[in-house]
Structure 1
């Protein structure tokens, strides 16, 4: 299967006309049509420069009314709206200007850009072709069209367009960048890398540090796709060295998530959030929180993205609304499923709390099921989009995700996807073996696949495999085997257990002060046993099974614990809490459960 990743930047974000007053000055360099129109434009420019956008818009609307045959007021008003990210309003103005002068390529370029910001790729393509019919030498239009062909999965057409233009118009760093992205999507590693390196060299010679940064980011994604992990990390570092953009932090954060370096990944996503103008950093923060088991935090980050109605940032990123919706609903599915499992597992205070918890568990499970359904629906749509353009590998990979509810059908698509991928990326075989074993629910095959994974760079996949193996073994009654798997999973990532419905298994050594009521001790032992903690007396020569030991001490007002690795005696985690003199078993059980299973 192709790697799981969020989004990729394909070309450097195109610089817009930065402010209305600059455009007006450029008009002023030419003879004004009438003094009155020039005066209105100057007033609008002054208002915009003073951040009075409403006043500037009113002046330009007045100019449109006074000079209905002149397209300039509509173009300026459209630029004003674009500067405020009001792309639907801007498009209306540009279309009005086009109706007055249908052959002005500047206006047509603005229309194509606006359609791109509105994620109407086909309309953008139509206008870019119009520009090239009028001006075949427009490098800007060629580059934008090549990018739009990438976004609509017309990979070979995009390559042909850009290579023909390159031969006709000469080398162009934008052409090289997009050709690298197209070749990467076609799994042509050497040519993609060559194109990115050419784009980097050209941008350096021009002193274009932002372009260098984005090109290294793209190169990092290419290396990651082909399992060249160390090269991918080096490219992400070089991206940040060129310019500290969010894309570089996002790429490095994703790589660190692969290695389960959760604190480092969180730091990178936090840095990206500080400079990001897209929702991607929030989704990265959500992923890091989810991996750490902080599900409410993850949900809060995703909800900030979920409420957004427009996504103009996609114009410069290698995604589309369907793919983005698929990723968003997959994340929400995982979060709500984890919150349901956590609710089911947590200790309950009393019967009323248990009843409320059951209702909450049911509601969260239904939300998870809803988002899973939406994820699979969008995956089916993305698969169909790739299939229409003959992109067989991503089509099969997305179809596999779409039909996981139907294992036989899913297995067929997985077989197609892995055959195509392994022919191009031989290093993908272990991860594909693991995916096939998880789909077949085959414990032996899962163990074999886990053993073949990269021990450093595929720890995220190891977590998925161990989680699936623990679920299978626990349902089949393999208590000792499941315990060993959960111990491995906790060692890899403590935050991975509770969201899968498990707590860390350990031998329990309880040391309670005499003043702790016997009823509290009995109730506590019952609650902790339900979490997988097997009681063991310090004086008992028969040790409970397992690699971990939880030493819990109770006194009159609180509790303290230490989780110990039995073989080495090292303390893996410790904590303490003060409850007050009237605490009961519930408070202690909830404290232990929360602390030993947190992903900090």
Structure 2
């Protein structure tokens, strides 16, 4: 029997399983979804078994926890000692997830045993679970439910969990009167707490999304009032996809305007006295929106497809005139969509309309009451802004010029954009912005500008919505992200209406690097746009029609009725005229058909007969019949038939001809080929919607015509929409597998989607049909490289040259494939042939690529002088980002960081891939510029498509490996800096502790992800190991990536390093030094380390030497003090920033000199102690000396080497030296000294 207790227990299991799923939703890259739920069931089962043994509560918990934890560590130890690849992988994976399993073990075992044995706990456990659930979801995705594919799933998940816990709460109580009262009080208290929590959640979410967006049930929407926050953050969540003509991409997409002003509340939504209320929510049906007709407006159609915006939101440009809500296809990605028409300004003719001030005359478009409303401002704010506004505009008479002068005051003046405006000491954020900091985000600028305008009598209001990035347009569709949410000002112009002005400056505050919607597109946008283009034919328009509520009289109603039905009335009139014309033309034929009057039939036939060409005999016969009908006493039915027969002979021919023409019209007017031609014309005119509609409708009419599929796929491919292109071309290929054009395009699509095996198959089939296509042949070779099949590619390309002769692109592909095979001479030979050929025919772009590829070859084989020569030759042929990148990499190898940064920035300016940004980030990290590196990571590595990878020598997993390596490198440096940063007071100590936990967890996470992606890359190479010569290459990279995955995990990394060493040194003997040194670090062998270092290139391998000195110093510290100091001196000389990366303290001799006449609040002994708490250790044998001096109100630091040469010095003016002042100075000094100056 299912008792209350058993039901409670079963529901509890379900709750625990739901709680166990949540961490894997966040950490899906390291935590498989099934692991924690399965482990939870195991723990619950063990608890059940222990409970039956009647063991004490505390003993049960300890036994279960210990037994499970010991089991996990025994399993980990077993995987560690068994040196088999499978067990190595299991060891790594278990090591990553074991902390989660231990935490889960402690939580579930403790709570389950308490549930069994403590009735009081059992009653209140649902409240505990509620709190844990809330904690896990609290800051999810920067306060947005982004781990679920669709927000409704998050809602259902939360409601399901809440329902289960509420049922459990009811099951836990018997509900006597006292308990029932308690329960009611608890629910009331819970409701109050939830209201408070949600209020703070909304505020936190708004701050995390630019201060404008706040969460709703369906992700986000704008608030109907704005507050000035002291600090906000940017999010790059994709909010919606907009569709409109690119001529209007400069227009703002307005969500709402805020007309009311209150000094305490800010700008808020309020209707002006004579205005109609603005539409702030999407109508349920089609709706025409009436407004006064203004000058300079053009009708523009827009479509909005919501992704992370509330489906009730309404967005439009300027003056919306008609709304058509959509019932979109069944989608898990879109919340809704609609079409809207607006009267928008395309080009503002300021010379014609910029002088007239509003007077309050209703003919201008604004009544006197509304003019007063839109210039209303409170006294305190008036005093704050009026004097400055008057001064700026005092000598400017014209209306528009005043408006522009105030706008330029903010955009071009002393104001700066900042996400951290700071907190005003007196709470008046606006005053603080205008008079002191002069930095803020868009809301600050909009408030200030609108109030200044109002203070000099110019009607204005604040608007909120989005801007779009014109460069992100694809087929007139635009991605709109959360960081593109914006506030601006609308100003009224007589006879024109409200016009938008943006006062926000683009000048950034010092130390800030903000992403204003850069890289707005990316993989997510392309995927959503593909879905729209594929599914838009399934859009349904609701049949509901909404009317304006203010139709005031019968004449207005009639006008509106005729306006709504004008198309219908036009149709009726045209139909009526056609009917009259048909009756007039058909009358004679009706007489012939139905008349019983023989005379009338003959005369009518004669009239029709005379209009047509006839033979002489027929004319005589017809005239005789007509004369008989007119004058003979009798006209018989035979006479009528004879007249009809004479007419019918010709009429039949005419009817047959007309029928033939009519059939021809239907049969030949439109065919598949003509549709393709019309679509091509539409593409040339950039009328993408027409082109797609023609082809999609054509496919429905002619589903077996492959040319339609080809054209549609070609359009998608050329707009870089590879997913829909791939799908449509695949359907076309099913119709005609021998269509060479489809094969060519689908190969390109598959390659761009990183499906290289498929791309290789398609290009192979294409070359079977078109074997003489040399570009396709070189592409075949490249795809063999991407699929790690160099021998196959070489065989094919050599045969291709034999059949069809020389070709530069084929030579280039051969060079790449031979490089993959570690055949230096052959690779160099074919690259050289390609280069010479390009130079002879002046193909500078191709020559630049060939030189770049040869530079990669030379660098890989340690011919660095040749490599930099080729890289520079590549730039001489054509300045390309890849050429700059190669020069930068080579300069970075020899620690020429400033030169490397310069060329990386040149590459970045013209790079449509994230590679240059990655190189810049890596260089900033290496040189200790952590903040700059972090800004690039946050702003430049978001929303990038992966299609570019198909053109580079790495896979998606290799790119992600590099990305996560950089991220883990960032956070270990931030952690190491915080670890020894001197704290100023208790609050700073709390902040420091929080930072250390945060950075350590992020480092641990990114390190785990890096290792797992390294395993994936190793697997990619391993599956292509065939046992032939090419397997050497695949085995090398397999073992290299296994080494990266296991580095730092004991001896497991060593065996993979040795395998890689045995292969690479066979082809590249110069690599032996680096391998020996790496092996020495793993084995802790200083002799071997020195041997390895001695074999390395001291100029071109400085980047590796710095890492080796850092790691070697930790070994030498235990075994050889002499080598310890040598390594540290060499490391400081090469790159002092590496000290921070490896958490190495610099040994120094410390001297402190204080002028005794100075007023100080800290002793020399305390100073020395604080210095040693930072990144220094005192060592009498050290070659470094650190001297601290305080005199003349100045604290000076000087670091010298063993020869007394000053390595670094810095002075801080401090009036009264105290403990906190000294700590701050030390922190700055440490940051500077362990940063490489660029």
TM-score by length of 1: 0.86
Match of 2:1035 among 349, 372, 392: 392
Q: Is the 8 A contact 1:524 1:589 kept in 2?
A: no
Q: Which moved more, 1:136-145 or 1:108-117?
A: 136-145
Equivalent residues in 2 for 1:231-250, closer than 5 Å: 231-250=866-885
Partners of 1:212 and 1:490 in 2: CA distance: 41
Q: Give yes or no for the alignment of 1:551 onto 2:1193.
A: no
Partners of 1:499 and 1:101 in 2: CA distance: 59
Q: Give yes or no for the alignment of 1:402 onto 2:1045.
A: yes
Q: Give yes or no for the alignment of 1:443 onto 2:1081.
A: no
Equivalent residues in 2 for 1:206-245, closer than 5 Å: 206-245=841-880
Equivalent residues in 2 for 1:487-498, closer than 5 Å: 487-498=1129-1140
Partners of 2:762 and 2:677 in 1: CA distance: 32
**Partner residue of 1:457?**
1100
Partners of 1:161 and 1:262 in 2: CA distance: 42
Following superposition, the deviation at residue 559 of structure 1 comes to: 2.9
Following superposition, the deviation at residue 234 of structure 1 comes to: 0.7
Compared with structure 1, are the counterparts of its residues 359 and 471 closer, same or farther at alpha carbon in structure 2 (3 Å cutoff)? farther
Following superposition, the deviation at residue 299 of structure 1 comes to: 3.2
Match of 1:113 among 739, 748, 753: 748
Partners of 1:426 and 1:236 in 2: CA distance: 23
**Partner residue of 1:102?**
737
Structure 1 unaligned regions, length at least 5: 1-18, 21-31, 536-542
Q: Secondary structure at the match of 1:553?
A: strand
Following superposition, the deviation at residue 155 of structure 1 comes to: 1.5
Q: Is the 8 A contact 2:1197 2:1211 kept in 1?
A: yes
Equivalent residues in 2 for 1:289-300, closer than 5 Å: 289-300=924-935
Q: Give yes or no for the alignment of 1:359 onto 2:994.
A: yes
Q: Which moved more, 1:193-202 or 1:546-555?
A: 546-555
Q: Is the 8 A contact 1:559 1:576 kept in 2?
A: yes
Kindly report structure 1 stretches of 4+ aligned residues shifted beyond 6 Å: 32-35, 477-480
Q: Secondary structure at the match of 2:895?
A: coil
Following superposition, the deviation at residue 595 of structure 1 comes to: 1.6
Q: Is the 8 A contact 2:752 2:948 kept in 1?
A: yes
Q: Is the 8 A contact 1:333 1:368 kept in 2?
A: yes
The CA deviation string for residues 369-407 of structure 1, in whole angstroms up to 9 with x for no partner, is 222222222222222332332222222222222333544
Compared with structure 1, are the counterparts of its residues 332 and 544 closer, same or farther at alpha carbon in structure 2 (3 Å cutoff)? same
Partners of 1:291 and 1:188 in 2: CA distance: 33
Q: Is the 8 A contact 1:443 1:472 kept in 2?
A: yes
Q: Which moved more, 1:363-372 or 1:36-45?
A: 36-45
State the structure with bigger RCO (CA 8 A, min sep 6), 1 or 2.
1
Match of 2:901 among 260, 266, 287: 266
Structure 2 unaligned regions, length at least 5: 1-473, 476-669, 1026-1030
Larger radius of gyration: 2
Q: Is the 8 A contact 1:559 1:577 kept in 2?
A: yes
Q: Give yes or no for the alignment of 1:506 onto 2:1138.
A: no
Q: Is the 8 A contact 1:548 1:565 kept in 2?
A: yes
Q: Which moved more, 1:74-83 or 1:240-249?
A: 74-83
Q: Is the 8 A contact 1:94 1:111 kept in 2?
A: yes
Partners of 1:346 and 1:53 in 2: CA distance: 58
Equivalenced residue count is: 559
Partners of 1:405 and 1:504 in 2: CA distance: 23
Following superposition, the deviation at residue 306 of structure 1 comes to: 4.9
Q: Secondary structure at the match of 2:1051?
A: helix
**Partner residue of 1:420?**
1063
Greater per-residue strand proportion = 2
**Partner residue of 2:48?**
none
Match of 1:93 among 708, 723, 728: 728
Q: Which moved more, 1:457-466 or 1:347-356?
A: 347-356
**Partner residue of 2:1222?**
585
Partners of 2:807 and 2:989 in 1: CA distance: 65
Q: Give yes or no for the alignment of 1:472 onto 2:1115.
A: yes
Following superposition, the deviation at residue 213 of structure 1 comes to: 0.9
Partners of 1:286 and 1:294 in 2: CA distance: 9
Following superposition, the deviation at residue 226 of structure 1 comes to: 1.0
Q: Is the 8 A contact 2:675 2:694 kept in 1?
A: no
Q: Is the 8 A contact 1:146 1:162 kept in 2?
A: yes
Q: Secondary structure at the match of 1:416?
A: helix
Q: Is the 8 A contact 2:864 2:1100 kept in 1?
A: yes
Q: Which moved more, 1:172-181 or 1:304-313?
A: 304-313
Following superposition, the deviation at residue 69 of structure 1 comes to: 5.1
Partners of 2:926 and 2:947 in 1: CA distance: 29
Equivalent residues in 2 for 1:74-223, closer than 5 Å: 74-223=709-858
**Partner residue of 2:954?**
319
Q: Secondary structure at the match of 1:37?
A: helix
Compared with structure 1, are the counterparts of its residues 563 and 53 closer, same or farther at alpha carbon in structure 2 (3 Å cutoff)? farther
Partners of 1:55 and 1:557 in 2: CA distance: 76
Q: Is the 8 A contact 2:913 2:948 kept in 1?
A: yes
Q: Which moved more, 1:557-566 or 1:521-530?
A: 557-566
Partners of 1:184 and 1:249 in 2: CA distance: 21
The CA deviation string for residues 30-78 of structure 1, in whole angstroms up to 9 with x for no partner, is xx96896377335513431xxx645654455455556655444443333
Following superposition, the deviation at residue 582 of structure 1 comes to: 6.7
Compared with structure 1, are the counterparts of its residues 517 and 315 closer, same or farther at alpha carbon in structure 2 (3 Å cutoff)? same
TM-score by length of 2: 0.43
Partners of 1:306 and 1:356 in 2: CA distance: 28
Q: Secondary structure at the match of 1:519?
A: coil
Compared with structure 1, are the counterparts of its residues 35 and 429 closer, same or farther at alpha carbon in structure 2 (3 Å cutoff)? closer
